[in-house]
Structure 1
Amino acid sequence: MKKLALPVLFAPLLVLAGCSEQPGGEPVVRTSLDGSDPVEVVETPESEQSIAATTGACKPVAFEGIGLTHCVADPEAHSIRTALAPASGDDFGTIEAWAAGKDESNIAFAMNAGMYGDDLKPIGYYVEDSERLAELNRADGPGNFHMKPNGVFFGSGETWRVLDSDTFYRTVGDRPQFGTQSGPMLVVDGELHPDFQDNGPSRAIRNGVGVDADGKAHFVISDEPVSFGQFARFFRDELSTPNALFLDGNVSSLWYPASGRIDRGRVGPILVVEKK
């Protein structure tokens, strides 16, 4: 799949987006360490970000020396749906293009939601507004998506779940209102994915989602490159999510209207968390 690397952020605890100070509202161009194309992120004044960091759905956190942004969707306050980034037009394949013209006052945040092909369409299970647009993918193959077990994040109404794909296939009969498949699973029934090293050499900007015992969905995006092991431990040890799913890496993108943050990685599926 064709992807753009997201920025490497060097001061994640200073402001919500974890970035060095810039004039309010001015675009900031950051270059990734792997030599891929730079990504532009629009930022708002630090005072606005500081307020958002203490009152909003997304907050900066640190874990094992790595800066992360942690966003929480509460079923009592939020709803979740899926959407697809536009495959043509200006800034196609970005959350920014999808967000153009929308009433951001209803958006708590949005995040990329799984892996896609060259046409930006999901390569695994995908349900939008109760309509299944792509079937569950249980095939073997290369890449992170096929690092079994992979899994599905799905839900209807106020009930949201993460399950590995085999369990989803065996136990889920009713079509949910939303669903997206990605991989690998980060945490499976309280255990880290069996193929993860404690702190392996693969480092990237990554994002994922897990659901805790209270039914809250925890969305996390790293503000600097992180290993799979570190990322998974945050979900297991800090968030206590018995199941958590890796959504993607390098293209990982967050739109958080409360702070003005909108990342511009190339994405396909999007998870939209809306205020009730």
Structure 2
Amino acid sequence: MNTSSVRIIDGGLGRELARSGAPFKQPEWSALALIEAPSFVSQAHRAFIDAGAQVITTNSYAVVPFHIGQERFEHLGLALVELAGRLAREAADCAAHPVQVAGSLPPALGSYRPDLFEPEAARRILEVIIAGLRPHVDIWLAETQSSIAEVELVREVLGDDPRPLWISFTLADELVQGRASLRSGESVTAAAQAAERLHAEALLFNCSRPEVMAPAVAEARAATGLELGVYANAFEPGDSTGGANVGLSRLRADTDPQGYLAWAQQWVDPGCQHGWRLLRHWTGTHCLPERCVRIASVQHPIGTLC
């Protein structure tokens, strides 16, 4: 297995912006740096590229009314999203190695909260985000999606845009009878079938505990031929009814890189023969560039993840 079989995505922008000293507080979260100090966003993109990222993600996740308010979204949302796309594009174009830009399409009405999803309200938000990112991205990344209905709307709003769509679902913190599920309660098999039906190029799982990723990947592998990937978080499990990004979550004490590698060896499949594999650094929600380098340089077991 050669290293070209793994695609490395950047780490979590929110954590990196906070770590670097960028303006960062609630309610704006990572959007505050776009508003007050965009140079920190460019710096974060460059740090992840220098760490070996082959795909960087636009800082558009928090450019939604939940974070910046409805009035500011109506007046500045399009400009902020366009800025997020442009900063990522500039960083990718200046990289010493090939780098693609993934346009982050967040859950429009609240992370971890499928109960808050309302199609028409979400459509209006997604239309702004997609319009602002469209000139700058190579890939559409619908991430932290809690239900199939959310990604169906993403596909509808994207229309006939020819760029690849990567769909990334967030999973419930606990397994039920050994099986993972979306936060909506829908099965991984149903999610995989929906991703195929929506002509996604890749199916991912993100913003979920590492322990639920293994059964999710195993079930998805049995249900679809799509490229698969994960980017787990390292948060202490919490009550998802409060949503995500209500504060910088406390990190688990057992989430050091070597510990993850030992854990990953328990479930990767050395014989998998998919074309390319997709991986975001497992500690993407809080990784430092130097830690990304160490993980990205390990060919086994990450090189056999599928």
Report the TM range for the smaller structure's normalisation: under 0.3
- Between Structure 1 and Structure 2, the one with more strand by share is 1
TM-score by length of 2: 0.25
Higher relative contact order (CA 8 A, sep 6+): 1
